Amino acid sequence: MAKGKIAQKQPAVLELEPGTYHWCQCGESSNQPFCDGSHAGTGFTPVMVEITEKKTVALCQCKQTNNAPMCDGSHSSL
């Protein structure tokens, strides 16, 4: 599958509360790294992320990761 548009060349390091989040896979969202519905018509769909306890995560913003939605360092070769 194609990779999304590069939103940022570094991860979004966030402390998230328990809950359900939707990671933007297309790179078009104006609410990075989360989905705002901008993927409509692109063939991309958001990736659901379930957080069960408060924790710090590094969510990919370059959209080139092979471990979606988490950063795998792919941005370092862009």
How high does pLDDT run on average in the chain?
Answer: 96
What is the mean pLDDT of the segment spanning 24-31?
97
Cβ neighbours around 71 below 10 Å, total: 22
pLDDT at 2 over 90: no
pLDDT at 1 over 80: no
What is the mean pLDDT of the segment spanning 22-46?
97
What is the mean pLDDT of the segment spanning 22-28?
97
Ordered by start, the domain boundaries in the chain are 12-77
Torsion sign across C-alpha atoms 73, 46, 37, 15: negative
Task: Kindly report the pTM of this predicted structure.
Answer: 0.93
DSSP classification of residue 70:
B
What is the mean pLDDT of the segment spanning 45-73?
97
